[in-house]
Amino acid sequence: MTAVAVARAPRRPAWRPALGLLVLAIVAALPAALSPYGLSVAVTVCFYVVLAEAWNLFSGYTGYVNFGSAGFIGLGAYGCAVMIWKFGWPWPAALAAAAVVPTAVSLVALPALRVRGAYFAIAMLGFAETARVLCGSKYLEPVTNGSVGIPLTPGLGITGLFYLMAATAAATVAVTYAVARGEAGLRLLAIRENEAASRVLGIETTWYKGAALLTSAALTGVAGGIFAIFLAYIEPDAVFSASLTLQTMLMAAFGGLGTVFGPVVGAVLLTLVIQALSTYLLQWDFVVVGAVLIAIVLLIPEGVLPRLQRRFAHWRHRGL
Amino acid sequence: VHLALILEPVLRGLSAGALYGLVAMGLTMIFGVMRVINVAHGELVMLGGYGAYFLWTVWHIGPIAGLALVIPAAFLFGMLIHLLLVERVASQAEISSLMVTFGLSIVLWSLAQIAFTANFRSIRYLGQAVNILGVYLPANAPVIFGVSLMLSLLTSAVLARTPLGRAIRATSQNEGLAQACGINCRMVRAAGFGIGTALAAAGGVLVAVAFVIYPQIGLSYIGKAFAVAVLGGMGNVTGALAGGLILGVVESIGAEVFTAQIAQVFAWALIFVMLIVRPTGLFGAPE
């Protein structure tokens, strides 16, 4: 895993907190500046920021490839939707359920952490597929309304949805930042580089991997819950779609795996590009998305942000 | 009467299972040669199925004769994929090859959706009922079983007894030494990927006869193939056939007891159970 750069800056530049505040101010002012359509694009951008960053928090740092991101999204969406539609919960409580349901169900997936690489990746793909089929099956129909799906009208406007999604995105980045800058981040990276060696050094690898996976599941689940309200109608094929996992991985890999801000950059840039191109691409969108993923892994395996940072460091060395 | 009730799903399961074994053999072989899981394996099944479907509807070439055209075409297509994409990431961390083949899988099924539409297609071939051990099955079921078994045994024989098979085994066991003995490891791996692709496509031809094909069918077949490969032991080519028969029968009985939809989940559940209980497969460690 040496190809993926480790973004652990030796010292923090003074402009970082100022930039953070500026981003917060811009995000807070967005609803006033954007049309409802523009705001719905902004919700989508924040949604993918959560997905890419939460995916990165687990897969980027531990090197365990999670093909089951859509499972967390779908379980979060269903956790939220069922509570509102079936039990009449208010949306804040339903969003709590959106975090709890995928996390609780992921406990089942924890044994898969015994195996690395492709075994784990395919097991997680199976996790998402099993959840999709069960949510649409006749056995869960009394709760999930089967393959018909669930309509949602919880009385949250687009502005409220935007602030919720943006807050979730900020929280996800903050959690990743805290983990990455702390000891936990180092331990997760040690697992990625050499799991056996890190266990010999006394790192409780199982605990760290599990905690990272469950955190990733909870954050992705909340985003899935808000996304469900945003969609206003959900059905299994829409919220468990494997293409959600693909886009998540693409954005995280594009920005840079195992870095804090890479996936954010990847999610913002690529969501906007895909949105802008969607009118031209029509049904070719996934062909392009898949091809770009292949191209990135082949051409810029460490991600765009680390590459730019290296460029920048190089200039700094030459006194520019 | 009771015996026939049990025998019917078992016989159906054996026919489907031999097909699963054939597809999984391709997956496990690619893994054995270069330690890469081809996530796009299900899409290769899908493409094979469409190949046979169009040979049948456009040129009226039957699926069994169609195999003779689909298999070499798939072999070349697989070599091409390998040389263009997989070879570049095969030596890197696993995450690279997983993401490249995952990207390839999405590209292939969305292209198929554009080119062939999302309609369900199947080849009506030998559909009349025949009596086997007192159970009425479509006549294509024993044909599929036989063809799958033959192709599987042929693959095992190629691996065990031909110079190419020896080169493939040598490359997978010790690349440096194989290279020193004058083996072109790059081309041997490409041939291995080609054979794996050909097996997937041959399975797809039979899928089009036994079931239906549509662009997004790949996801369920990568699940089945992986479950079977894990059952038989990843990299164990003969184990894949046994694993396929087991999954076929389990799924078929599951569809009787629950619903056909729930039976589709069995493969995924089996992956989880095997990874927890016996990650090396039913037949011990292949490596």
- Reported as half-sphere exposure (CB side, CA atoms, 13 A), residue A243 has a value of 14
Work out how many CB contacts closer than 8 A connect A with B: 142
List the structure tokens of B102. Answer: 């995952």
pLDDT digit string, tens, across residues B160-170: 899 999 998 88
B110 with A287: CB under 8 angstroms? Answer: yes
Of residues B145 and A148, which shows the higher confidence score?
B145
What's the pTM value of the predicted model, to 2 decimals? Answer: 0.83
* Residue A12 confidence (pLDDT): 57
Please report which confidence band the pLDDT of residue A315 belongs to, taking 50, 70 and 90 as the band edges.
low
A265 three-state secondary structure: helix
A49 with A268: CB under 8 angstroms? Answer: yes
* Residue the block writes with tokens 């479907």: B53
* Residue A318 confidence (pLDDT): 47
* Residue A183 confidence (pLDDT): 84
- What are the strands, taking DSSP E only, across chain A? 150-151, 233-234
From CA B227, how far away is CA A34, in angstroms rounded? 49
Res. B285: pLDDT tops 60: no
* Residue B284 confidence (pLDDT): 63
B82 with B190: CB under 8 angstroms? Answer: yes
Interface test with B, best of A297, A299, A300, A302 (most B CBs within 10 A): A297
* Residue A80 confidence (pLDDT): 92
Residue of A nearest to B258 (CA): A139
A222 with A216: CB under 8 angstroms? Answer: no
From CA B47, how far away is CA B214, in angstroms rounded? 10
Res. B214: pLDDT tops 90: yes
From CA A164, how far away is CA B115, in angstroms rounded? 40
Among residues B188, B196, B190, the alpha carbon closest in space to that of B168 is found at B188
Asked if B219 lies within 8 A of A242 by C-beta distance, the reply is yes
Among residues A248, A240, A246, A243, the alpha carbon closest in space to that of A78 is found at A240
Asked if B94 lies within 8 A of A112 by C-beta distance, the reply is no
SS (H, E, C) chain B: CHHHHHHHHHHHHHHHHHHHHHHHHHHHHHHHHHCCCCCCHHHHHHHHHHHHHHHHHHHCCCHHHHHHHHHHHHHHHHHHHHHHHHHHHCCCCHHHHHHHHHHHHHHHHHHHHHHHCCCCECCCCCCCEEEECCEEEECHHHHHHHHHHHHHHHHHHHHHHCHHHHHHHHHHHCHHHHHHCCCCHHHHHHHHHHHHHHHHHHHHHHHHHHCCECHHHHHHHHHHHHHHHHHHCCCCHHHHHHHHHHHHHHHHHHHHHCCHHHHHHHHHHHHHHHHHHCCCCCCCCCC
B112 touches chain A (CB under 8 A): no
Per-chain mean pLDDT for chain B: 88
B15 with B251: CB under 8 angstroms? Answer: no
From CA B237, how far away is CA B195, in angstroms rounded? 12
* Residue A6 confidence (pLDDT): 52
B272 touches chain A (CB under 8 A): yes
Smallest CA–CA distance, residue B8 to chain A, in Å, is 25
A101 three-state secondary structure: helix
State how far the alpha carbon of A250 is from the alpha carbons of A48, A260, B137, B240, in Å: 11, 16, 46, 32
Phi, psi of A308 (to 5 degrees): -65, -40
- Four-residue CA torsion sign, A20, A25, A29, A34: negative
Res. A300: pLDDT tops 90: no
Asked if A3 lies within 8 A of B264 by C-beta distance, the reply is no
Task: Compute the average pLDDT of residues B157-185.
Answer: 87
- Name residues whose C-beta falls within 8 Å of residue B249's C-beta, 6 or more positions apart in sequence: B9, B10, B13, B14, B17
pLDDT digit string, tens, across residues B228-284: 988 888 878 888 889 999 999 998 888 888 888 888 888 888 887 887 777 777 776
pLDDT digit string, tens, across residues A225-280: 999 999 989 988 889 988 888 889 888 988 888 888 899 999 999 888 888 887 78
pLDDT digit string, tens, across residues A33-86: 888 888 999 999 999 999 999 999 999 888 888 989 999 999 999 999 999 888
From CA A270, how far away is CA A268, in angstroms rounded? 6
Res. B68: pLDDT tops 70: yes
Please tell me which of the candidates B89, B107, B234 has its beta carbon nearest to residue A290.
B107
- Name residues whose C-beta falls within 8 Å of residue B271's C-beta, 6 or more positions apart in sequence: A122, A123, A126, B223, B226, B227, B230
List the structure tokens of B56. Answer: 């049948």
Asked if A111 lies within 8 A of B275 by C-beta distance, the reply is yes
Asked if B265 lies within 8 A of A67 by C-beta distance, the reply is no
Chain A CB contacts of B268 below 8 Å: 125-127, 129-130
- Four-residue CA torsion sign, B205, B69, B80, B244: positive
* Residue A314 confidence (pLDDT): 60
Residue of B nearest to A193 (CA): B93
Report long-range pairs for A174-181 (Cβ below 8 Å, ≥24 apart).
A175/A57, A175/A215, A175/A219, A176/A53, A176/A54, A176/A56, A176/A57, A176/A260, A177/A260, A179/A57, A179/A61, A179/A212, A180/A7, A180/A8, A180/A61, A180/A259, A180/A260, A181/A260
Residue of B nearest to A4 (CA): B93
Percent over 70 (pLDDT), chain B: 98
Asked if A293 lies within 8 A of B267 by C-beta distance, the reply is no
- Name residues whose C-beta falls within 8 Å of residue A133's C-beta, 6 or more positions apart in sequence: A236, B261, B262, B264, B265
* Residue A35 confidence (pLDDT): 86
Which of A169-173, A197-201, A280-284 ranks highest by mean pLDDT? A169-173
Of residues B59 and A311, which shows the higher confidence score?
B59
Res. A210: pLDDT tops 50: yes
Asked if B276 lies within 8 A of A111 by C-beta distance, the reply is yes
- Residue A107, amino acid: L
Exposure string for A36-48, b = 16+ CB within 10 A, e = fewer: eeebbbbbbbbbb
CA A111 to chain centre: 22
B287 touches chain A (CB under 8 A): no
B29 touches chain A (CB under 8 A): no
ipTM: 0.84
Asked if B223 lies within 8 A of A243 by C-beta distance, the reply is no
Percent over 90 (pLDDT), chain B: 42
Res. A132: pLDDT tops 70: yes
Per-chain mean pLDDT for chain A: 85
* Residue B19 confidence (pLDDT): 93
SS3 content of chain A, % helix, strand, coil (to 5): 80, 0, 20
Task: Compute the average pLDDT of residues A23-36.
Answer: 84
* Residue A34 confidence (pLDDT): 84
State how far the alpha carbon of A189 is from the alpha carbons of A64, A120, A183, A209, in Å: 11, 18, 10, 10
Q: CA torsion, points A270, A271, A276, A278, in degrees to nearest 10? A: 100
A289 with A246: CB under 8 angstroms? Answer: yes
Please tell me which of the candidates A114, A117, A250 has its beta carbon nearest to residue B94.
A117
Eight-state DSSP code of residue A115: S
* Residue A320 confidence (pLDDT): 36
